[in-house]
Amino acid sequence: MKYISTRDTAAVRHSVSSAEAIQRGLAPDRGLYMPDRIPTITHKELEGLMSKPYAERAADILSRFLTDYDPDALLADCRAAYAEDRFPGGAAPLAECGDSIHALELWHGPTCAFKDIALQIMPRLLSRALTMTGEPRLAHILVATSGDTGKAALEGYRDVPGVRITVFYPVDGVSPMQKRQMTTQEGENVFVCAVRGNFDDAQNGVKAIFADPALARRAEEEGSFFSSANSINWGRLAPQIVYYVSAYCDLVREGKLSIGDPMNVAVPTGNFGNIFAAYLARCMGVPIARLICASNANCVLTDFIRTGVYDRRRTFYKTMSPSMDILISSNLERLLYLLGGAPLTVRCMEELSRDGIYRAPDSVTKPLRAVFDGRCATEEETAATIRSVWEERRYLIDPHTAVGLCAVRQYRAETGDDTPVVLASTASPFKFAADVLASLGTPAGTDEPAALLAALHDAADAPIPAPLSRTLTLPVRFSGAVAPADMADVLFGRA
Ligand SMILES: *Cc1c(COP(=O)(O)O)cnc(C)c1O
Longest dimension (CA), the chain: 63
pTM over 0.75: yes
In tens, the pLDDT along 53-63 reads 999 999 999 99
Percent share of the chain, pLDDT over 90: 87
> Atom of ligand 1 at shortest distance to CA of 269?
9
Sheet containing 101-105: give its strands across: 94-96, 101-105, 421-425, 263-268, 288-295, 372-376
Q: pLDDT at residue 147 above 90?
A: no
Dist CA 197 CA 216 (whole Å):
24
Q: What is the mean predicted confidence (pLDDT) over 27-31?
A: 91
479 alpha carbon to ligand 1 midpoint, in Å?
A: 27
Nearest CA owner, ligand 1 atom 2: 323
Mean pLDDT across the chain: 95
Atom of ligand 1 nearest to the CA of 400: 11
The answer to whether the CB of 294 falls within 8 A of the CB of 269 is yes
Mean pLDDT computed over 31-44: 97
Residue nearest to atom 14 of ligand 1 (CA): 323
Atom of ligand 1 nearest to the CA of 148: 15
The predicted pLDDT at position 328 comes to 86
Ligand 1 centroid distance, CA of 484 (Å):
26
Distance 270 CA to ligand 1 centre (A): 5
State residue 240's pLDDT score: 98
- The residue whose CA has the least distance to atom 15 of ligand 1 is 323
pLDDT band of residue 31 (cuts 50, 70, 90) is: very high
For residue 429, the CA-to-ligand 1 centroid distance in Å is 14
pLDDT at 56: 98
Atom of ligand 1 nearest to the CA of 431: 13
- Tell me the one-letter amino acid at 320: M
Q: Pick the residue with more confidence: 439 or 161?
A: 439
What is the per-residue pLDDT for 471?
A: 92
Q: 3-class DSSP state for residue 372? A: strand
Give, for ligand 1, the residue of 293, 296, 400 to mutate: max count of ligand atoms closer than 8 Å to Cβ.
Answer: 400
Mean pLDDT of 257-285: 97
Alpha carbon of 258 to those of 14, 249, 255, 286: distances in Å? Answer: 42, 10, 7, 13
- The protein residue with its alpha carbon nearest to ligand 1, atom 8, reads 271
- Helix extents (H) in 50-173: 54-65, 71-81, 115-132, 148-157
422-446: average pLDDT? 95
The catalytic residues are: 115
pLDDT band of 494, cuts 50, 70, 90: low
Q: What is the pLDDT of residue 429?
A: 96
What is the CATH code for 91-110+235-432?
Answer: 3.40.50.1100
Pocket of ligand 1 (CB under 6 A): 113-115, 148, 231, 268-274, 323-324, 400, 426-427
How far does residue 215's CA lie from ligand 1's centre (Å)? 31
pLDDT tens digits, one per residue of 401-420: 999 999 999 999 999 999 99
